[in-house]
Every structure is written in C-alpha cells, then in structure tokens.
Chain A
Amino acid sequence: MGFEAGKDVVLKLTDNGDTERTLTSYVLALRASFPGHKLIDVTTMGKSGHKWASDELEDNSFEVDFLFDPTADTGPWAVLKSLRGATSAKAFEIGPYGSVASSVKITGNCWLENLPLEMAIGDMIKMSGVAFKVDETITIGAY
C-alpha cells in the first residue's frame, strides 16, 4: 500500500431507529480526530522543558461536510435530524479509503453534537462541519 486518495471514504451511521444508513455519496469531506489519550502536563520543579503523561482515556471525535438531500429515511437530512433526538450513542463506521478487503475500518458509537445547515445563493444547500463525539473507544480493524 502507499498513498491513498480521499475520494473513496466510506461513512455509515446508524439512525435513531437503529437502522444503519450509508451516507458515503453525500460526504464532501470527513475529518477525524482519534487520539488514544489526552496529555497531562506533569512538569515539575527542576525540569527544563514540559513533561507529559497520558490520562489513558481515548478522546475521539469526527466532523463531516455533507451535501443536503431531504430523501426520506435514507438521505443525510433524515438520518441526521433523527440523531438530534437520540438518547443513546449510535454506531458509526468509517472506511478512510474504501471498504475493499483489508482496508482500514474504524467503528464505534457516537453522538451528534451539532447540525449546521447552510444555505447560500450560488451554492448547493450543505451541512458543513457536522460534529460527532465518540462514546468511549473506537475499534480500528479491517474490512
């Protein structure tokens, strides 16, 4: 393997009715932050530079730019607006460069943090910067 293009990203979200929906064809960009821990500054007297320790807690999130499509049930608007009222974290699946066998697959459960709707003249209706908080940990596996 080598460099991978961003065009093959796969995104699946489980809606509030617990049905998995594939939203790949509406995604313009996906930005993920999956740090394995947060760093705690444990610098003490006598040190000449900062010293760090891990809090041993994953702190994961991701953000997606979607094109708006109001298609009932399967479109991104239907899925995301259902997640606005979610009372439990819902499953997600991200394939950074597709879902062919042995490609990386990232899974976990997430909460919808915001749903920014953007309407501008000369552009399509978009939902840019839709943010998700990951509940507990992610699993990095393979298809």
Chain B
Amino acid sequence: MGLMSGKNARVYIAGYDISGKSNKWTLPMSRAYKDVTCMGLDGHKWYPLLYSDAFNFDAFYDSDADGVRVCLENLRGNTSAIICFLLGTTLGDEAVGGYGAFQENFNISMPITDMLTLASVFKFEEKADEGAVLLFPKATKTSDGSHTVLDQSSASADGAVAYLQVFSCGGDDALIVKVQHSDDNFVGDVNDLITFTTANGVTSERKTVSGAVKRYVRVNWAGTPTYSASFAVIFKRL
C-alpha cells in the first residue's frame, strides 16, 4: 500500500451512490476527554469519554432521480441512515462505515455567478466503524454467485460487522446477500457468517455477529430469477 488519491473514494448513503455528484468529503471522527486533573499534578490529565463522529460533504446540485439532491431530500428527518465510505474501489481497500446517521443540516447555495451546490452534515450514532475493508465492490449481478475471496491473514475471535448497500433491485428479486467465512479458502469449509435481510428494492443494512471469524471471507449472493441487483458490501473484524 502507499499514498492514495482522493479521486477513487466513494460514498454510499442509504442505497444511494452519490460519489459521482460530490467532490469533497470529510469525516471528523473525534472523541471527548474529561479533564481529571487533581491536586499534586504538574500538567492536565485526561480521561476518554464519548466518540462524536460525523460526515460532511460538498456536492453539485443535480435533479436526477438517483442524484444527491433526491438522496438528501429523502433523508430529511431520517435518523437511521447507513453510510459507507470507500477509500478505493478494489477488494480489500480501506473503508469506513457509519449507522444511525442523522442529517444535521442540508444547505443549498444558489449564487448568480456559480453552480448550484449542496452541503450536508450527518452525525453518526455511537461511533463510526473505521478500519473496515471493501469486501464486494459495487457491481450489478443477474445470476447467483460468490465474489473473490479476501485473505485476512488470520482468524479472529471477537465478531464482525458488515454493511450492505443495495442501489437497485427489483420488487420481486428477493436478493439475499451473505458474508461467508472459511478456514481453507473455501475449498471444503464454507460457512455463512452474516446474512442480510432479503432485499426487494433500494435499501441498506448494518449487521453484526459475535464470536469466531475465520481467516478467509467473501460475499455470496442469490436472487429469484430473473433478477438484476446492484450492491456493495464492506466488512470489519471487531
């Protein structure tokens, strides 16, 4: 790995891919500290309190049905959006997930000398899941299958979290997306780790699992033929 250009980043909000209409995002992930300085110390002493994670972005106003304006309008008053940030677009690239996102503001700038632009701020519930990886890059699937396996070097014991973003899906497609894990690169050992709720339209979901997670992970999907669904998955060991 090395330095990464910002142009390959992606952001998905509640089943909307707004990457192509936005030009800058920031995730000010912060944590509060209580000053617990007591008598006899020579400098301030701190104790960690709550995380306070947020997501800010700038975008160009567009009136497409799947555009950022529609996405933001639909999220007004929504307090449970699922957001995924991808820092690259290939399997294993770093990603950050956030849930329970609450749209704090939604600003439209309309100057006579410039483009119409949008800016919005979301706050996350609890904390963002930094350190996730892209397990299934956004793609459209029309037949059942599994994606390339991600070898994460070793197994872990503390569970996992995964985020699904479904960008398009028919009303009777019954798309089932799973995260599977294996000890032997799926040669003989194949196990379902996380199964997302069956999708029949644009949706997003965050699911967690506790306990052991095996070394190899992949995404598996199935639908009711004939179907056409576009989706993406990010994953993190806890």
Contact = CB atoms under 8 A, between A and B. Distances in A.
Contact of B9 (A60, A114, A125, A134): A125
Contacts of A70: 1, 4, 87, 93-94
A113 B37 CA distance: 17
Contacts of A113: 30-31, 33
Interface stretch (B20-28, B75-83, B101-109, B186-194): B20-28
Interface string B131-156: 10000000000000000000000000
B115 interface: no
B70 interface: no
A121 B87 CA distance: 12
Interface in B17-55: 23-31, 33, 37, 41-46, 48, 51
Contacts of B23: 120-121
B5 interface: yes
A111 interface: yes
Most chain A CB neighbours (cut-off 10 Å) among B6, B25, B41 = B6
B184 to A, nearest CB: 23
Interface residues of A, number: 41
A84 B236 CA distance: 15
A102 interface: no
A72 interface: yes
A75 B1 CA distance: 9
A63 interface: no
B46 A111 contact: yes
Contacts of A59: 43-44
A25 to B, nearest CB: 10
Interface residues of B, number: 34
Nearest to B24: A120
B3 A77 contact: no
B172 interface: no
Contacts, number: 119
A116 B29 contact: yes
Interface string A101-143: 0000000000111111111111111100001011111100000
B53 to A, nearest CB: 9
Interface in B91-137: 93-94, 96, 130-131
Contacts of A86: 48
A119 B6 contact: yes
A57 B4 contact: no
A121 B4 CA distance: 11
Contacts of A65: none
B2 interface: yes
Contacts of B87: 68, 70, 119, 125
13 contacts: A68-B87, A72-B1, A77-B94, A81-B130, A89-B46, A114-B28, A115-B27, A115-B130, A117-B26, A119-B87, A121-B7, A125-B9, A137-B43
Interface of A: 56-60, 67-72, 75, 77, 81, 84, 86-87, 89, 111-126, 131, 133-138
